[in-house]
Amino acid sequence: MKTLSPLQVERLQYQPKLPKALQAGIKSLDLVEGSATQSVRDQEEIKALFPNCYGGPTVTFNASEEEVISEKRNIGVILSGGQAPGGHNVIAGLYDAIKQANPENKLYGFLGGPSGIIEGQYVEFTDEFINEYRNTGGFDIIGSGRTKLETEEQFMASWENCKKLGINGIVIIGGDDSNTNACMLAEFFAAKNAGIQVIGCPKTIDGDLKNEQIEISFGFDTACKTYSELVGNIQRDANSAKKYWHFIKLMGRSATHVGLEVALQTQPNITMISEEIEAKQMSLKSIVDYMSDVVARRAANGKNFGIALIPEGLIEFVPEMKAMIANLNDTMAEIEAKLNAAKNDEEKFVIIEAALEPANAEVFKSLPVLIKSQLLMDRDPHGNVQVSKIETEKLLIAMIEERLAEMKKEGKFVGKFGAQAHFFGYEGRCAFPSNFDADYCYSLGYNAYALMQFGLTGYLSSVRNLTAPATEWIAGGIPLTMMMNMEKRHGKMKPVIQKALVDLNGPVFKKLQDNREDWAINDCYVFPGAIQYFGPSSVCDITTQTLKLETEAKLARV
């Protein structure tokens, strides 16, 4: 017998809100086609790679008086990549739509991520099963994984397993890489006339899967609110004890949307933004100089405490580190056998330093042993360095300590520097979804089935107008090819969904920039507290500052 917390019991009763067009029911919909689309770049190459899925129109739904005729269907769903709050609600929304369309329809969940469809590992959802997971965080309903679905053999095996279950639609809930794979699978099925549609849902706490039609990926809202609560609590502690600098690394592998949003919600003393570091070509030394300068200026005011937010992916944006990591990735692949034969990390360092280009070898050598070891860890299946395992916050603390010691000798630092390192990532990925994410995810799942009902494939479920109340949200879809371009992966040019990085000319970054100096020196901390699920909608349903500022800027442009 499972023990449920009082909040869990309450949340199971929560009925997520749907956009008005979807409220009339899955059978009462009208599809409105927008204009044809094209990929963000490299149109000819993407079109050649996706002849069946390329260039379809954007679509939106309206409620309709006429009933949609719904054939019996079996659908499979896959959770892919890192956890994000609300994934269970995507499945719940999908399930409810499927059953409303025809109670004989079936929803299968493939277990453990994309490998589930390849290996034929699945469960069939029932009311009882689904009901236990409504409005809960996590992906434990069927588990997730990072297997990259890309080879002909994998597609063939997936097809075989779909045939066995009579599946004619697959929903892939994932980030940019997983949705790229969703599009490849859609293209494969379309080319084979397999009669299996594929729809993606935009997931990732990192917030880097977005564009004009996809205002935000799900999970970002809850994750940022969770981290902001924790950062706020630490700010109170720092402001009470007045003896520590807290260096907080925040998840967000490639983009700093999480760091930026948390900064706007909490107003810490230092916020590093990876995209800015890259644009200004800031070296590790200049980052350390900037941070040490803030520490010293606060110390001069008698404040030997503060809060610094560090993006998870920072290390990959520092020019000399970026060049070194790229060289390291290639080198490690080339000398894999030699590295496997090495007895310990010390031996590996020697082999690597000899194999790297001289300038990169110097950068590698200059790093503390801990960081060097972390850089040698396995890459993820998409070829990314696992930045969550690199303790950048500790690297910066060590370097700032050294810099402050020098400054002390020069009479430029009169104070104490005691630092604490934190990493907030996993804490936010499986939190109870906020009302926003509970509603958004349920709508995305429900809407994914609506797209299938109209025969679409290779589309991403899109729900827009998200700063308005949920009933005013706009439901529809966009072709996945619309978000694609060609990028180099594992040494080869591949079609991928373009990551949305922080726009340094945008309103969100501008807000940070305008306040940075004030927040650095004065204590302007905001303490957001815990996510609220019950009470006035102005507190419970409100979403992120990022969305608010971006929407205001969009409206001002119109």
Q: Which two tokens stand for residue 524?
A: 């302007």
CB-nearer residue toward ligand FBP: 163 or 490: 490
Q: Which is nearer to ligand FBP, 252 or 477 (CB)?
A: 252
Residue 149 near residue 200 (C-beta atoms within 8 A): no
Bridging pattern class, strands 459-464 and 419-424:
unpaired
- Residue 364 C-beta: closest distance to ligand FBP, Å: 22
Contact 40, 180 (CB under 8 A): no
- Cα–Cα distance for residue pair 267/518, rounded to 1 Å: 10
Sequence-ordered list of residues with C-beta below 8 angstroms from that of 55, at least 6 positions apart, any chain: 36, 37, 38, 47, 479, 481
- The nearest distance, CB 101 to ligand FBP, in angstroms, is 29
CB of 447 to ligand FBP, least distance (A): 20
Q: Which chain residues interact with ligand FBP by CB under 6 A?
A: 81-82, 84, 175, 204-206, 251-253, 312, 387-388, 429
**Residue among 62, 68, 77, 85 nearest 108 (CA):** 77
Residue 445 beta carbon to ligand FBP: minimum distance, rounded to whole angstroms: 17
| Closer of 177 and 229 to ligand FBP (Cβ) | 177
The β-bridge partners of 110 are 122
CB of 62 to ligand FBP, least distance (A): 32
Q: Minimum Å distance from CB 175 to ligand FBP?
A: 4
Nearer to ligand FBP, 20 or 146 (CB): 146
The whole-angstrom separation of Cα 60 and Cα 21 is 9
206 is a catalytic site residue: yes
- By the 10 Å C-beta count (0-12 exposed, 13-18 middle, 19+ buried), 473 is classed as buried
Please pick, among 96, 176, 177, 206, the residue that the annotation labels catalytic: 206
Residue 39 or 80 with smaller CB distance to ligand FBP: 80
Rounded Cα gap, residues 159 and 76, in angstroms:
12
Q: Which helix (H) or strand (E) holds 555?
A: helix 545-557
Question: Which CB, 208 or 550, lies closer to ligand FBP?
Answer: 208
> What's phi and psi for 476, nearest 5 deg?
180, -150
Do strands 484-489 and 492-497 pair parallel, antiparallel, or not at all (unpaired)? antiparallel
**Cβ-contact 16, 438 below 8 angstroms:** yes
Q: Catalytic positions, please?
A: 206
